[in-house]
Structure 1
Amino acid sequence: MAASSSTFGRELEPARVPRYWQALILVLGLLVLAHMSLWIWEALNGYPGEGRVGVLQQEAGPDGFWRIVKVEPGSPLATAGARPGDAIRYDRAADAVRQFRAGESVGLTLRHEAALSHYTLTAAPRSIPANELAQDQAERRLAIVICSAWMVPALIGLLVTLRSRGRTSVVLLGAALVGLGLTYTNPNLLEGASWIGTAIYCGGDLMQFAPPVLFLAFALAARRETRSKLPRRWLIALGAYTLVVAMLAGRVVWVDLTGRSLVLTHSMGVTVWTTTAGIGLLLTVLALGAAWRESVGMDRTRYAFMLAAIGLLSSLQFVGALIYATGNQWTTANPLVLMLLGAPILGASVFAYAVLRHRVVDIGFAVNRTLVYGAVSAALLATFGLVEWAVDHFVSIGGREKNVLVDAAVAVGIFLAFHRVRDWVEHLIESLFFSNWKKAEERLRRFVKEAPFFIEASTLTAAFVRTLSQYAGGAETAVYVKDGHGYTRAAGGIADSPAVLDGDLPTLVSVRATLEPIEAPDGVLAGCLVTPMVNRNEVIGLTVVGPKPSAHVFRPDEIELIGWATRQIGLDMHALEIEQLQAQNAQIAPLQRENAMLHALVAQRA
């Protein structure tokens, strides 16, 4: 029978990413959310401060001139005499791709037929004709919805990165999700600055090209952590795909920096990128599909959910590119736009369900606390609002002071009810989403409750090792008892751990000093959770729980429960040992009395 390996690895120790890379991803994620929030705020307020010179559509040429496809009537550029088919070259190349602010001066050279003319135009404030106001409002509402939907992957990416513990596959997944939040929205931070604005804009373009590569790298890294070796064809595919995407990204950055097209026209570039994004999505799905076929048990279920969630989320770029390639119709009448709105919502929902129910990525504890206290806060605020409304509408109370007293009484009542409401909400949420955790906790608590009824200490110790291993997801577990200056293994075992532990090991010294569970950072117990058995402030034994087969870290609530269970079982083992010593003494006492009587008889005869 094949042994089940975890979703992100059992046979191999997963590679770790340095902390500074994780910090970089978190910073970029926060910048993405700030950028998207700014977009939403500007759309809500009608894009205040936005300026236009009059180019509605343009395409870069190889000589640095941008061919004008469409000119806004009445704009500064139209007043200068520009017509569709003319070309302009900006004094600063980056001006061709950034958003202007109203009142800003923009230098450019206009090429009309064969004549060249230089102008310094002042960006005019954004104005919408009265007959286009309804369309403009609809477009802004759509922009708000799309930006809000695209923030969902970025938020998930931040949470995944925070809980990654440096694991390569999980960090890659978090980075890919963060990058999705910037898809097809260029950064507008510090656009007016010279080289800083240009650097931010180019960095944003690079981030937009990164997600397909990162998703594919994640799929291969996750598969690599469950196999001894990846097929060479997948490594070649990743390298070739990364090279192609890097070339396309380099081409876009070249246009940003120089204003000159390179090899491909804009329309050709969109078509090529659409195809490339589709290939990346297909490769990611194939890689995860291959891992799904090779896995068994719960791992197979986890891969299936991850396949569905990433397929939906990574389709964002592909669908967005299709919209550009098919006429750039950003309206709800376009089914591709509806797909673009539905993909992040469905993908986030599948991902959340996979995390909460199947622990694809172990962020459940943070989500658990967030759900509990978020729901409690919402319920209490809603209760306060309803009571206030009821008092205002149905109770006649005059005077501001009396109203203040009523508000204070309501607030005190809600404060007193907080813990009861929190406990009820926590029970409800745990029943809905964290039933596996609750069942495992109940099994361990039931064992601790039944432990005093064991007769033999050795039997109790062996049963505790089995129960604790089940609670820890199949992790190797051992129990050590004090023996002189060290601790001797009494039951269970962990690979590469000795049968006798030196009492002066740094981890054991820390355990005796704190009397609390400690995760050993290094040494013979590296990566293990070491928990003391305590009697009258003396460590009489230890439980050592090895790393989980899933490579997930121990949650705070797990560490607390293991610590409590270990203390209780330690006291039960100590009580059994005392009972056994008393029984032995009881057996020896008659012999001692007989021996004393024989000595007395011998003395009398003598």
Structure 2
Amino acid sequence: MHGWRIPASVWKWLILLMAGGLAVLVASELHVGLGARLPDGEGSLRVTLEDQLGARPQGLGTHWLTVAALDPRSPLAAAGVRPGERLRFDRPLDRWRRFAPGERVDVTLDSGRSLRLTALPTPVGLADRTDYIGRTLIVFPALLFTLAIGWHQPAQRAYRSLSMMFLAMSAAFFYSFWFGAADGPSALGKLVQLPLNCLAWYFAADFALHYAAQHTGHLRHWLAHAMRFYRPLALASAAYTAWFALGHEAPWLWVPSTLSIGGGALILFLSLVDGWRSGRGDLRQRYRWLVLGLMCGGVPPLLTMLPWLDWETGLGRITVLAYFGGQFLTYCLLGYAVMRYRVFDFYLAVNRVVVFGVVSLLLLCTFGMLQHWVAHHVSAGHSGFGWQLLSDAAPAVLVFLVFNKLHARVEHAVHAVVFRRWAAREAQLREWLAAIVHIRSSDTLVAGLAAALDRFGDHAGSAVYLRLPDGGFALAASATGRFPPRIGPNDPLAVLLRADLAPTRHQLPQDAGVLALPMCHRAQLHGIVLLGARPNGESWRPDEITLLADTASQAGLGLQALRVDELQQAVGSLHAQVRRRSVELQAAAGRRRFGMDALP
């Protein structure tokens, strides 16, 4: 799925098809899980099998599971099975499935005896509820990021790998257990999840290796060579895992799986650190947020493979809770970084839609949990039309009355956290821009422009240059910074701005700041605005550059209008001076004639 193999137009529909197909599988599973199993209970064999990930390495490649403990009421105990014996499910995926109450389950003992067992009705425990709801909450942001990245950035290899990484993270919804039928869509979801569990780290490493590859250090060269060996290892591990998921024995599966996951995590971490060390300005900030966000989502899954961290709590395993917390924190950090620092090269509107869409999904999931709680705790043990109406209508009415207002408040809170300072500075800059129509001096306008841009950039420094008759540009006003006193007519910066008439952050002299804005009128460059680097190290975001360019352009138009007014005033002053001189000359000429006539 590299950029040179699949056209961008085909890739967009391919990622849409894959994400949509996975969303259908998730919706099918949620229909069974939230609609039947969580409210009414599940079926259980009341047996503890050694099936914890990381508890026994050989359990990763075999379908033979050891009976660790038996409940006295277990159908296995009634069939004479004892702890220590081994069994396997006739349907291999049943080891990860939660059965329906009264469902018939076929197993085979290592002695060769076949058993048909009946799953006993059992309420779903709090730890399993937490696990299931946690996976439900994190699957929707993952699908949203998959579509946003894959659809809007289909041409670049780094973003293709990133969208596939989020798709693999979406498939982790089927990671621990599922409630669907053995031959239903949920089984297909589990078949997809097992190989994608290895490929997720490959896609993450491939993204980090190709993200802004032109701005990386020497370590990236060696990592690219290591990727040539890691890629076939990851693909072979995924294929071997798929073979195991189809019901075949896969001896020593834990070896390639561990190497694939560990190698991907190592390449991911080293690539991000190398990019962060070699990057500058906005690129360095993007790498910093990528390291923080992806490591929050990548480290907790690795902890689930360590058996000595497998502590149990009332809400479930510590490592599982850390996994959910890390995934949720990853989406929050990446959402914040997308909007504020534009970590991913989206349009700003798409950035806000992504994060606010995540907020909407989380709120809807919260109300869904409320409906489940009402049906499970308030209406439990009650029947009749009144109680059914209460369990169904009350959450619906609450959603109708509260959701819009609460949704607006949450979005306002997100906007206040992410955009508050930027919005305040933007409003201040626009207020000054609206007030320039009342300025009557070009010198005041130029000085005010330099001061306003300096305030907007947190005293990053600004300078305004005006064109000279020879085509060069002289420093007219500056604030909080050292800038060259003159820019020559053939200076590379002047030539670049004269050719493009657009903001530029490249090819700037060392003492000319980090951002150059043109002041133009009728396709002619009349001035240059230079902005320095911010003291806090933050870069100028594209949306800020757009606002600054608009401000410089409007100020340039206002300056031209003031110059015309000043020229008219100068012409009027000259006319008045000429009239005064004419009157004085006429008076002097009259006195001279009068004096000559008076001579004898």
**What TM-score comes out, normalization by structure 2 length?**
0.57
Deviation per CA, 1:32-64: give whole Å up to 9, x if none.
4444444444333217999999999799x9xx9
Q: Is the 8 A contact 2:289 2:337 kept in 1?
A: yes
Residues 1:315 and 2:282 are matched in the alignment:
no
Alignment of 1:225-374 (within 5 A): 225-227=214-216, 231-256=220-245, 259-261=247-249, 264-265=250-251, 268-270=252-254, 272-295=256-279, 300-322=284-306, 332=315, 334-361=317-344, 365-366=349-350, 368=352
State how far apart, in whole Å, the 2-side matches of 1:500 and 1:302 are. Answer: 30
Aligned residue number for residue 557 of structure 2? 570
Residues 1:21 and 2:11 are matched in the alignment:
yes
Aligned residue number for residue 580 of structure 1? 567
Three-state SS of the structure 2 residue aligned to 1:180 is helix
2:128 to 130, 139, 145: 139
- CA separation of 1:366/1:443 partners in 2, compared to 1, >3 Å: closer, same or farther? same
Q: Is the 8 A contact 2:311 2:317 kept in 1?
A: no
Aligned residue number for residue 438 of structure 1? 423
State how far apart, in whole Å, the 2-side matches of 1:588 and 1:217 are. Answer: 74
Aligned residue number for residue 379 of structure 2? none
Residues 1:209 and 2:198 are matched in the alignment:
yes
Alignment of 1:146-157 (within 5 A): 146-157=135-146
Q: Which amino acid aligns with 2:226?
A: A
Aligned residue number for residue 175 of structure 1? 164
Q: Is the 8 A contact 2:89 2:95 kept in 1?
A: no
How far has the Cα of 1:269 moved from its partner? 1.8
State how far apart, in whole Å, the 2-side matches of 1:165 and 1:478 are. Answer: 40
State how far apart, in whole Å, the 1-side matches of 2:42 and 2:182 are. Answer: 12
- CA separation of 1:435/1:200 partners in 2, compared to 1, >3 Å: closer, same or farther? closer
State how far apart, in whole Å, the 2-side matches of 1:18 and 1:580 are. Answer: 55
- CA separation of 1:569/1:188 partners in 2, compared to 1, >3 Å: closer, same or farther? farther
- CA separation of 1:316/1:224 partners in 2, compared to 1, >3 Å: closer, same or farther? same
Deviation per CA, 1:14-37: give whole Å up to 9, x if none.
xx9935434433443444444444
Q: Select between 202-211 and 151-160 the one with higher mean Cα deviation.
A: 151-160
Alignment of 1:554-565 (within 5 A): 554-555=542-543
Q: Is the 8 A contact 1:50 1:102 kept in 2?
A: yes
Structure 1: tracts of 5 or more residues without a match: 1-15, 383-413, 482-487, 502-507, 509-516, 519-528, 602-606
Deviation per CA, 1:330-366: give whole Å up to 9, x if none.
9745332232232223333433444455443466655
Deviation per CA, 1:52-105: give whole Å up to 9, x if none.
99999799x9xx996575699659xx89xxx96577877xxx8788969989x9
- CA separation of 1:188/1:465 partners in 2, compared to 1, >3 Å: closer, same or farther? farther
Q: Which amino acid aligns with 2:303?
A: V
How far has the Cα of 1:180 moved from its partner? 1.3
Aligned residue number for residue 128 of structure 1? 120
- CA separation of 1:260/1:178 partners in 2, compared to 1, >3 Å: closer, same or farther? closer
- CA separation of 1:175/1:142 partners in 2, compared to 1, >3 Å: closer, same or farther? same
Q: Is the 8 A contact 2:340 2:419 kept in 1?
A: yes
State how far apart, in whole Å, the 1-side matches of 2:206 and 2:316 are. Answer: 35
State how far apart, in whole Å, the 2-side matches of 1:109 and 1:373 are. Answer: 42
How far has the Cα of 1:245 moved from its partner? 1.2
Deviation per CA, 1:123-158: give whole Å up to 9, x if none.
98x7434xxx25656534432234434544444444
State how far apart, in whole Å, the 2-side matches of 1:446 and 1:244 are. Answer: 59
Q: Which amino acid aligns with 1:583?
A: A
Aligned residue number for residue 46 of structure 1? 37
Deviation per CA, 1:401-423: give whole Å up to 9, x if none.
xxxxxxxxxxxxx9xxx99x97x
Residues 1:220 and 2:212 are matched in the alignment:
no
> Greater relative contact order (Cα 8 A, min sep 6): structure 1 or 2?
1
- CA separation of 1:30/1:470 partners in 2, compared to 1, >3 Å: closer, same or farther? farther
State how far apart, in whole Å, the 1-side matches of 2:410 and 2:87 are. Answer: 65
Deviation per CA, 1:405-450: give whole Å up to 9, x if none.
xxxxxxxxx9xxx99x97x998865543214522552463255256
- CA separation of 1:95/1:297 partners in 2, compared to 1, >3 Å: closer, same or farther? closer
Q: Which amino acid aligns with 1:287?
A: S
Give aligned pairs, total: 484
State how far apart, in whole Å, the 1-side matches of 2:564 and 2:496 are. Answer: 26
How far has the Cα of 1:252 moved from its partner? 1.8
Q: Is the 8 A contact 1:40 1:144 kept in 2?
A: no
Aligned residue number for residue 383 of structure 2? none
How far has the Cα of 1:248 moved from its partner? 0.7
Computed over aligned residues only, the root mean square deviation of the Cα atoms, in angstroms, reads: 6.5
State how far apart, in whole Å, the 2-side matches of 1:143 and 1:498 are. Answer: 57
Three-state SS of the structure 2 residue aligned to 1:182 is helix
State how far apart, in whole Å, the 2-side matches of 1:198 and 1:135 are. Answer: 20
State how far apart, in whole Å, the 1-side matches of 2:568 and 2:93 are. Answer: 88
State how far apart, in whole Å, the 2-side matches of 1:355 and 1:214 are. Answer: 20
- CA separation of 1:296/1:541 partners in 2, compared to 1, >3 Å: closer, same or farther? closer
Q: Which amino acid aligns with 1:350?
A: L
State how far apart, in whole Å, the 2-side matches of 1:24 and 1:348 are. Answer: 23
Deviation per CA, 1:182-241: give whole Å up to 9, x if none.
127169999748xx9998765444432222112222222235242377642110222222
Three-state SS of the structure 2 residue aligned to 1:181 is helix
Aligned residue number for residue 402 of structure 1? none
Q: Is the 8 A contact 1:43 1:141 kept in 2?
A: no
How far has the Cα of 1:246 moved from its partner? 0.9
State how far apart, in whole Å, the 2-side matches of 1:22 and 1:289 are. Answer: 30
Q: Select between 154-163 and 488-497 the one with higher mean Cα deviation.
A: 488-497
Three-state SS of the structure 2 residue aligned to 1:260 is coil
State how far apart, in whole Å, the 2-side matches of 1:301 and 1:498 are. Answer: 27
State how far apart, in whole Å, the 1-side matches of 2:44 and 2:238 are. Answer: 27
Q: Is the 8 A contact 1:98 1:191 kept in 2?
A: no
Aligned residue number for residue 390 of structure 1? none
* Percent of paired sites with the same residue: 16
State how far apart, in whole Å, the 2-side matches of 1:334 and 1:53 are. Answer: 21
Three-state SS of the structure 2 residue aligned to 1:445 is helix
Q: Is the 8 A contact 2:310 2:318 kept in 1?
A: no
Q: Is the 8 A contact 1:477 1:494 kept in 2?
A: no
State how far apart, in whole Å, the 2-side matches of 1:312 and 1:591 are. Answer: 78
Structure 2: tracts of 5 or more residues without a match: 1-5, 52-57, 368-400, 475-486, 504-515, 590-600
How far has the Cα of 1:580 moved from its partner? 1.5
**What TM-score comes out, normalization by structure 1 length?**
0.56
